[in-house]
Amino acid sequence: MYKLIEFIRRIYVVLLFLLIEGVALYAYAHSTYYTQAKILAHTNSVIGGLQNSIFGVKHYFTLRSENELLAQRVAELETQVEFMREQQATSADSLAYEQMDSLTAQGLVQYRHMAARIISNTTNRERNFITLNKGTMHGVIPNMGVITPDGVMVGFVAACSNRYSVVKSILNTDFRSSGKIVGDDRIGSISWSGKSPYRVEMNNLSIYAEIEVGDEVISSGVSQYFPPDMKVRIGYVESYQRNDSQTANDVVIRLATDLAKVSNVILIENYDYNEVTELENAVQNGTYSTGGAVTPY
Amino acid sequence: MQRYLSYIGMFIGVVLLQIFLIDNISLGIYFHPLIYVAFIILLPLDMLPVWVVLLSATLGLTMDMMTGMCGLNVIAATATGFARMAIIGFTSGLNTGVDDTIPALYRLPQKNLLTYIILMVLMHSIIYFVMESLSMAHMFHTLLRIVVSDVVCVVIVWYIVKLFVEKILNK
């Protein structure tokens, strides 16, 4: 017994080291992007204020270019609103414009937009996240789509605290979305390999898709994060080649914007997100009943 | 007492520098110097290994909490702290047995000090980047990240060490 105690006393540093490493490895192995985002959301409640101030100074120097972009975006939206007004006015059976609020309340309008400011953003890790200055108290909820003011895909909200939210960036190796070439309806899978913060990949694009270097790539329209009729830009085709099995194309896309320089974003909430995902899950899990309601067996 | 305060200040300083300055510099995916390892490098060379391991783990835990990395920084920092005695022995050419004396950081020759910093930074970043990628598919890409980040990191840590040793420890 004495020898055992003496032996442990001699190697207790090694034991301590192994214990700490074991616990850390276990925590790391069981961590997902979601737990990372949750931790970030909580710690941002503490350090978010300071980061907010630092980014406030940085933000000041980029105001001019942002104002130009916002003005351009406002002009585009004004044009769309004008077009819709005109359509409504000329359509005999259209609803009056004043009823738009009640339409939202009834759930007939599917998407809601809101602006937010980036207070923390990384692009030099394998799993990058963006912290925004708005949280649940401002109406942000998880799974809202995120785009830049000029309509470029940024990611989606992964977690929220009261005052802040964390976005899973397109520059995150866990990020998955779908995209297509403008003018072709075939869909490919968008992901980031972690190599360059200026490029993402689109894999499994049909070999029959018409691709040219320089073609614009946009969101597919089947995503639950972005409206189907909204062409959310991703980037431009830089190169493409057949995959190893020669069954599909792998496309390298140059991103339409430098994410490190983005400081304002627009959040998009899909009111139907939960309903659609619950329905999809029910079908996948076999808990869907044909009566229309989602009920367990 | 003042010495303890200096180390507490250094701990807070490197954590804040890493989070609010280095992590916000976006010069590409290959640029990610992990300068907080400077704290482990600067710990007294004659400090008991158990304290080095515990302080390294605390540093890693703090970084994990701040960056949401769920254990990655603890793994890299603790392993670096644990390997520190061997690295010191290798760089100073000393036997670190019970009866041997270990020179203070400021008494190390420049060449040995630089070797010590390079080995510590390398040890830490290899574990960090390999564990972060967890894939052999992009080995070259991970190696490039280690090399580019470490060159910058060694330069920054060198100046932090010189500043701390000359302006604070030697006061």
Residue-wise pLDDT for B133-168, tens only, equals: 877 777 888 899 899 999 999 999 999 998 888 777
Contact A40 B67 (CB under 8 A): yes
Q: Distance between CA A239 and CA A248 in Å, rounded?
A: 14
Contacts of A193 in chain B (CB under 8 A): 138
Quickly state the pLDDT bin for B57 (edges 50, 70, 90): very high
Q: Does A54 touch chain B (CB under 8 A)?
A: yes
* ipTM for the predicted complex: 0.86
Count CA within 13 A, CB hemisphere, residue A243.
14
Structure confidence at residue B51 (pLDDT): 93
Residue-level pLDDT at B97 = 45
What confidence score (pLDDT) does residue A74 get? 66
Interatomic CA distance for residues A115 and A112, integer angstroms: 11
What is the per-residue pLDDT for B156? 94
Closest CB to A124 among B26, B64, B69: B26
What digits encode the pLDDT tens for the residues B63-92? 988 887 778 999 999 999 999 989 988 887
| Residue B127 clears pLDDT 80, i.e. is over it | yes
CA distance B33 to B117: 13
Write out chain A residues lying below 8 Å of B60, CB-based. 24
Which residues of A, range 217-276, sit inside 8 Å of B by Cβ?
260
Sign of the dihedral through C-alpha A70, A71, A76, A77: positive
Collect all residues of chain B within an 8 Å Cβ-Cβ radius of residue A194.
29, 133, 138, 141
- φ and ψ at residue A131, rounded to 5 degrees: -105, 130
Q: How far is B93 from chain A (nearest CA, A)?
A: 22
Query: Which residue among B27, B65, B132 sits closest to A43, beta carbon to beta carbon?
Result: B65
List, as own/partner pairs, every contact residues B131-139 make where C-beta atoms lie below 8 angstroms and the sequence separation is at least 24, other chains included: B131/A28, B131/B72, B131/B75, B131/B76, B132/A125, B132/A126, B132/B72, B133/A126, B133/A194, B138/A193, B138/A194, B138/A195
- pLDDT of residue B130 exceeding 60: yes
Give B133 to chain A, closest Cα distance, Å.
Answer: 7
Give pLDDT, residue B94: 54
Residue A196 touches chain B, beta carbons under 8 Å: yes
Q: Which of A17, A24, A126 lies closest to B132 in CB terms?
A: A126
**Residue stretches of chain A with pLDDT short of 70:** 32-48, 50-51, 54-55, 58, 64, 68, 71-72, 74-76, 78-83, 85-109, 290-297
Q: How far is A58 from chain B (nearest CA, A)?
A: 11
Please state the domain extents for chain B.
2-169
Q: How confident is the model at residue A295, as a pLDDT?
A: 47
Tell me the pLDDT tens digit for each residue of B94-126: 544 444 555 677 777 888 889 999 999 999 999
- A124/B79 CB distance under 8 A: no
Q: Which residue among A12, A21, A129 places its CB closest to the CB of B78?
A: A21
Per-residue pLDDT, B95: 46
Nearest residue of A to residue B50 by CA position? A13
- Best of B15, B78, B143 to disrupt the A interface by mutation (most A CBs within 10 Å)? B78
Nearest-5° angle of CA A259, CA A71, CA A69?
20
Closest partner residue to A27 (CB to CB) among B19, B71, B133 is B71
Bridge-based pairing state of the strands A153-160 and A187-191: unpaired
User: Which has the minimum average pLDDT: A203-207, B3-7, B47-51?
Assistant: B3-7
CATH code for the structural domain at B2-169: 1.10.1760
> Which pLDDT belongs to residue A99?
53
List chain A residues with CB under 8 Å of B30. Answer: 124
For residues A185 and A273, what is the distance between their CA atoms, to the nearest angstrom?
23
Cβ separation A24–B68 shorter than 8 A: no
Cα–Cα dist A279/A294, whole Å: 7
What chain A holds in terms of domains, given with CATH numbers, is: 62-109 (no CATH), 177-267 (2.40.10.350)
Cβ within 8 Å, pair A17-B68: no
Contacts of B30 (CB under 8 A, 6+ apart): A124, B144, B145, B148, B149
